[in-house]
């Protein structure tokens, strides 16, 4: 109750001024100490996109060596921003929006285990809504997370199982199919499954002029793709 009253006492002008700052200011002319203070006071009011905008400014300052905040404090600010985003993930009903948000969180160095857990939980709930047009964005987010060192095998397995059981694979266009296959997150899976590389090249040639490196292809999934497309 006290916290709610404290939040409601913050002047709306302060919040609106900060939002205006995010939209219009260049990182080079922002007072970093004041910016840091305002984030700590207002982050719970931000939309997820405003949190990303604030993180973008911080990254720009850091890259241009304008940041006078110690690294530990900078990381704490990022944690506050990502916590604000986490609190709003549960209302996201669009899987592309969810994955795009996660890509940005990862690119701005904000990804942590808590966010990843919430993202996977939300993606799992939205999995049944994933259609062919969503495959590139979901694949992008999973690949990017994997490259940061986090283990996401379970959600990746559910994702590909959904694509197979719902017969989404045959509906993928060339770019979607290549995005699905050219992925490092599943290269270690089920290596004992054999498939002729000539067959793999043939099916990839049917769908895309650019053949991805075959070392990254999930053999079991590729076999399923070939079987379904040939049918």
Whether 35 has a pLDDT exceeding 60, the answer reads yes
Question: Averaged over 197-209, what is the pLDDT?
Answer: 47
Q: Do 127 and 230 reside in the same domain of the chain?
A: yes
Domain, as residue range, for 28: 11-88
What's the number of domains the chain is made of? 2
Q: Do 108 and 179 reside in the same domain of the chain?
A: yes
Q: Do 62 and 102 reside in the same domain of the chain?
A: no
Domain end residue (candidates: 88, 113, 129): 88
Q: Is residue 153 part of a domain?
A: yes
CA–CA distances in Å: residue 67 to residues 36, 105, 201: 10, 20, 50
Q: How many CA atoms lie within 13 A of 108 on its CB side?
A: 26
In a 3-state reduction of DSSP, which class is residue 217? coil
pLDDT tens sequence across 8-23 = 445 567 778 787 777 7
**What per-residue confidence (pLDDT) applies to 152?**
80
**What per-residue confidence (pLDDT) applies to 25?**
56
Q: Do 29 and 63 reside in the same domain of the chain?
A: yes
Q: Is residue 3 part of a domain?
A: no
Question: Averaged over 191-207, what is the pLDDT?
Answer: 44
Q: How far apart are CA 4 and CA 2, in angstroms?
A: 5
Q: Do 221 and 172 reside in the same domain of the chain?
A: yes
Domain end residue (candidates: 62, 88, 114): 88
Can you give the pTM of this predicted structure? 0.71
Q: Do 214 and 146 reside in the same domain of the chain?
A: yes
Q: Do 61 and 120 reside in the same domain of the chain?
A: no
Query: If DSSP states are collapsed to H, E and C, what string results for 15-46?
Result: HHHHHHHHHHCCHHHCCHHHHHHHHHHHHHHC
Q: Is residue 2 part of a domain?
A: no
């Amino acid at each position: 109750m006290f916290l709610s009253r404290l939040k409601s006492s913050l002047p709306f002008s302060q919040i609106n001024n900060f939002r205006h700052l995010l939209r219009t200011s260049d990182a080079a002319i922002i007072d970093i100490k004041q910016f840091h203070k305002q984030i700590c006071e207002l982050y719970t009011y931000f939309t997820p996109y405003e949190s990303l905008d604030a993180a973008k400014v911080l990254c720009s300052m850091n890259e241009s060596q304008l940041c006078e905040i110690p690294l530990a404090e900078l990381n704490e600010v990022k944690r506050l921003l990502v916590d604000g985003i986490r609190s709003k993930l549960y209302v996201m009903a669009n899987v592309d929006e969810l994955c795009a948000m996660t890509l940005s969180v990862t690119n701005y160095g904000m990804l942590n285990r808590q966010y990843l857990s919430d993202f996977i939980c939300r993606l799992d709930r939205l999995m049944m809504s994933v259609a062919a047009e969503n495959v590139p964005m979901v694949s992008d987010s999973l690949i990017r997370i994997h490259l940061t060192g986090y283990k996401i095998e379970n959600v990746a397995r559910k994702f590909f199982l959904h694509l197979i059981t719902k017969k989404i694979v045959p509906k993928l266009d060339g770019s979607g199919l290549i995005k699905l296959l050219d992925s490092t997150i599943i290269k270690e899976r089920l290596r004992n499954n054999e498939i002729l590389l000539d067959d793999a090249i043939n099916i990839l040639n049917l769908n895309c002029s650019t053949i991805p490196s075959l070392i990254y292809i999930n053999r079991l999934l590729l076999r399923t793709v070939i079987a379904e497309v040939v049918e």
